[in-house]
Amino acid sequence: MEELKHCGTILIETNRLILKKIENADAEDMFLNFAHDDRVSRYMSWDSFKTVEDSIKWINEWQDEYNKEDVYYWGIYLKSSHKLIGTIYLLTESTVSKVGSLSYCLGFDYWGNGYVYEAVETVVDFAFNKVGYNRVEAYHAKSNLQSARVLQKVGMKKERTLRQRCKTHNGYEDCIYYSILKSEFKS
């Protein structure tokens, strides 16, 4: 059986963005641009960072992970300013069935520009056509309609609702699961 062709968190360029490994020098941008902000963290698995030290710790932990070929955690950087404005993570859910899952976040000041859509579309293309996944999944809390819209725009199909599957700043929330198959994705 053909295996996934892992290549690690390589640099990827889109029209307006650069996706690449996050470096220690980005700690302040990470903190100021998104990690300190409850509006961003409320749907994520982490609490808002309190100080830049939290960013430094977070980034340090990822440096070891970055040595692994099967780890895909990109910083989302604006080409125009080279600033770190968000993150996108592709996690292998099943090596045998070649399933990956996606999560992402973007600094509040940058919402409404389609940046995450641009990043997600590019990472889905990477997942199917570079690494060789057959299915990419993502989910959003029921109240997170912006995230739903990003997934729909990329061509993901809604599959099921899991009751109170995630804890957000609103408390336990139902989660809506989406997926896209390699055969459905137009690169």
Options 72, 77, 104, 128; binder of ligand COA; rule CB under 6 A: 104
Coil, helix or strand at residue 128: helix
Give me the residues paired with residue 19 across strands.
12, 76
Q: How far apart are CA 133 and CA 128, in angstroms?
A: 5
Least distance in angstroms from the C-beta of 166 to ligand COA: 8
Options 30, 105, 127, 136; binder of ligand COA; rule CB under 6 A: 105
Give whichever of 111 and 185 is closer to ligand COA, judged by the CB atom: 111
Tell which positions 107-166 bind ligand COA, by CB under 6 A.
Answer: 111-117, 140, 144-147, 149-150, 153
User: What backbone torsions phi and psi does residue 72 show, to the nearest 5 degrees?
Assistant: -125, 90
CA 47 remoteness from chain centre? 16
Whole-number Cα distances in Å, 46 to 51, 67, 105, 150, 170: 14, 23, 11, 21, 14
**Both tokens assigned to 106:** 């973007």
Per CB under 6 A, the segment of 22-30, 101-109, 125-133, 177-185 that binds ligand COA is 101-109
Q: How far apart are CA 91 and CA 160, in angstroms?
A: 20
Query: How many residues at the interface with ligand COA, by CB under 6 A?
Result: 22
Q: Does residue number 171 form part of the binding site for ligand COA (CB under 6 A)?
A: no
Give me the residues paired with residue 92 across strands.
100
Least distance in angstroms from the C-beta of 92 to ligand COA: 18
Q: Which residues bind ligand COA (CB under 6 A)?
A: 40, 43-44, 103-106, 111-117, 140, 144-147, 149-150, 153
